[in-house]
Chains A and B, each alone.
Chain A
Amino acid sequence: MQGFAAISAQNGWAMAATGAAIVIIGLAILSLIISQLHKILGFFEKGETAEPVTDEPTSAAPPAVEIGSIDPLTDLVATARQYRFLTAQLGDSFGLAQLYHALETANAPHPHITVRELKASGFLISTDKGQFSWHNV
Chain B
Amino acid sequence: MDLFYHFIQNTGWYMLDYRYVIMIGVGILFCYLAIAKEYEPLLLLPIGFGVIIGNIPFFKGFGLGIYENNSVLHYLYFGVTTGLYPSIVFLGLGAMTDFSSMLARPKLMMLGAAAQMGIYFTLLSAMAIGDFPFFQNIGMVFTAKEAGSIAIIGGADGPTSIFLTAKLAPNLIGPIAIAAYSYMALIPIIQPPIMRLLTTKAERRIHMPDDGRMVSRKELLFFPIVGVLLCCLLAPASIPLLGPFFFGNLMKVSGVVDRLAKTAASSIIDTATIFLGVTVGASTQADVFLSTKSIGIFLLGSIAFSLATASGLIAGKIMNLFMKEKINPLLGAAGVSAVPGSAREVHLVGQKADPTNYLLMHAMACNASGVIGSAICAGILWSFLAV
Which residues of A does B touch, CB under 8 Å?
Answer: 1-7, 9-13, 15-20, 22-24, 26-35, 37-38, 41, 90-91, 94-95, 98, 101-102, 128-131
Contacts and interface: CB of A to CB of B under 8 A. Distances in A.
Interface string B341-379: 000000000000000000000000000010011001100
B380 interface: yes
20 contacts: A1-B130, A2-B128, A2-B129, A7-B128, A12-B123, A12-B127, A18-B384, A23-B116, A26-B113, A26-B230, A26-B234, A30-B231, A31-B109, A31-B110, A34-B223, A37-B223, A37-B226, A90-B214, A129-B256, A129-B258
Given A2-B130, A32-B106, A129-B255, A38 B124 contact: no
A102 to B, nearest CB: 7
Given A27-B110, A31-B109, A34-B102, A22 B234 contact: yes
A135 B235 CA distance: 47
Contacts of B217: 91, 94-95, 131
Q: For chain A, what secondary structure do more than half of its interface residues adopt (helix, strand, loop), or is it mixed? A: helix
B127 A27 contact: no
Contact of B107 (A7, A13, A31): A31
B134 to A, nearest CB: 10
A6 B106 contact: no
A12 B344 CA distance: 34
Interface residues of B, number: 51
Q: For chain B, what secondary structure do more than half of its interface residues adopt (helix, strand, loop), or is it mixed? A: helix
Given A16-B120, A27-B113, A129-B258, 11 more contacts: A2-B132, A16-B123, A16-B124, A19-B377, A20-B120, A22-B380, A23-B116, A23-B373, A27-B112, A33-B230, A41-B222
B381 interface: yes
Nearest to A9: B130
B227 interface: yes
Given A22-B235, A22-B380, A35 B258 contact: no
B20 to A, nearest CB: 35
A15 B109 contact: no
B216 interface: yes
Contact of B129 (A6, A29, A38): A6
Contact of B106 (A19, A23, A34, A101): A34
B124 A23 contact: no
A4 B226 contact: no
A128 B217 CA distance: 13
A114 B117 CA distance: 51
Contacts of B113: 23-24, 26-28
B197 to A, nearest CB: 23
Contacts of B381: 15, 19
B214 A26 contact: no
A10 B144 contact: yes
A28 B255 CA distance: 29
B219 A38 contact: yes
A19 B216 contact: no
A41 B103 contact: no
Given A12-B124, A27-B110, A38-B216, A20 B116 contact: yes
A20 to B, nearest CB: 5
B131 interface: yes
A4 to B, nearest CB: 7
B214 to A, nearest CB: 6
Nearest to B213: A38
Contact of B231 (A26, A38, A94, A128): A26
Most buried by A among B127, B132, B373: B127
B218 interface: yes
B130 A128 contact: no
Contact of B376 (A12, A18, A23, A41): A23
Contacts of A10: 127, 144, 147
Interface string B85-114: 000000000000000001100110110111
B381 to A, nearest CB: 7
Interface in B211-247: 213-219, 222-223, 226-227, 230-231, 234-235
B253 to A, nearest CB: 10
Most buried by A among B121, B218, B377: B218
Contacts of B377: 19, 23
Most buried by B among A5, A15, A128: A15
Contacts of B215: 38
Most buried by B among A23, A31, A33, A129: A23
A2 B112 CA distance: 31
Contacts of B128: 2-4, 6-7, 12
